[in-house]
Amino acid sequence: MSETRDMNALGDDEFRAEIREWVEANYPEELRFFPRRILMDECRDWYHKLSEKGWLCPVWPKEYGGMGLDPGKFIIYTEEFERHGVARMPDQGIVMVGPLLIKYGTEKQKEHFLANIHAGNHIWCQGYSEPNAGSDLASLRTSAVLEGDEYVVNGQKIWTSLAHDASWIYMLVRTDKDAAKPQEGISFLLCDLKTPGITIRTIPNIRGEEEFCEVFLDNVRVPKENLVGEPNRGWTMAKALLGFERIFVGNPRMCSYALNRLRLLAESLDAFTDAAFTARYNKHRLDVHDLAASFERYAGILKSGGEIGSDVSFLKIWATETYQRITEEMVELAGDLGSYRDDLLLGNNKVDVMNQFLGSRPSTIYGGSNEIQRNILAKQVLGL
């Protein structure tokens, strides 16, 4: 039965206990601590369970079928999912598209697309980066020319995570090639991936898994009604989504998971008897606590309807570099065993040391490289 209560009214301990009890009772055992990005067909039943419970979209407002959680409750929610080893589902619709449409979409778009996200009918991927337009996103060249009631789209997107598992793509396209500034003349389109003219080619990641994709668009016809916001004003929404993405990447979830795995590894190897290791572990633990506090502050700004500023880049840097430091500590602690790709079986614990390390490597690149984030902080926050 779908959730109707205001769960923010619960005490933190009561809320945590309820989330923990339900997740432990309902999450499939075979999907715990899944070693790679999970595909929709592998987690569809779990997706529907969350949707039926009303827990699929924790931060969406309740009027749109979300839980409406405040930042503190959302952190508890993610901590409990992480503690139990719940895999990250294909969630671009939940994390990115939904909040964007709630803020900028028409009522017709909200009614149609939000319902299909809840139902699991639309699985989304992000069409932002292009060859020669990654961190310098404003230089994108994929074009969309209005012909009657349709945009005709031509171009290429790259590093499109799980596009081969998605059914829809949200993308930035250039609708005015003569705009005075590169940020101008960009529009925001929603496109069904079954549309003729779309070709998807997978790209293996560092672990040899098919996670990324190239998406080729050859005279793809997209209904004009799938434009979000005004023509040539997509950069405003792009920045909003990048803010959502940097907050999402800055979620303490990845770091909390890695810290938990480091703790299990250390307990199995009796490493807490080493004062030097214990000091390093406590530093990592405090870094994760600091990250959670910062995340709660930024999430609170969004929750209250405020705008996220350029300083959110700090959150992305802190989260991804903390994640890398923790996974490096895991490999160092595991010694020779740290080079094995398979999970390490240490007593009653199973720890995915090398998978965590490899998974942390691209985190400082995607979502806008950390070098770019430091430039943003230097120019737009510090005025250097």
Q: Which has the closest alpha carbon to 238: 321, 114, 136?
A: 136
Helix (H, G, I), strand (E, B) or coil at 201: strand
Nearest in space to 175 (alpha carbons), one of 230, 232, 223, 128:
232
> DSSP letter string over 101-155?
HHHH--HHHIIIIIHHHHHT---EEEE--BTTBSSSGGG---EEEEETTEEEEEE
How far, in Å, CA of 243 to CA of 226, rounded?
Answer: 22
The β-bridge relationship of strands 186-192 and 227-228 is antiparallel
For 55, residues 6+ apart whose C-beta sits below 8 A from its C-beta are 3, 22, 67
The stretches of 27-70 forming alpha helices (DSSP H) are: 40-53
Taking the C-alpha atoms of residue 86 and residue 363, their distance in angstroms, rounded to an integer, is 19
What residues act catalytically?
A: 245
Regarding beta strands 124-127 and 168-174, do their DSSP bridges make them parallel or antiparallel, or are they unpaired? parallel
- Best CA proximity match to 261, nearest among 148, 167, 125, 352: 352
Which residue type, as a one-letter code, is found at position 301? Answer: I
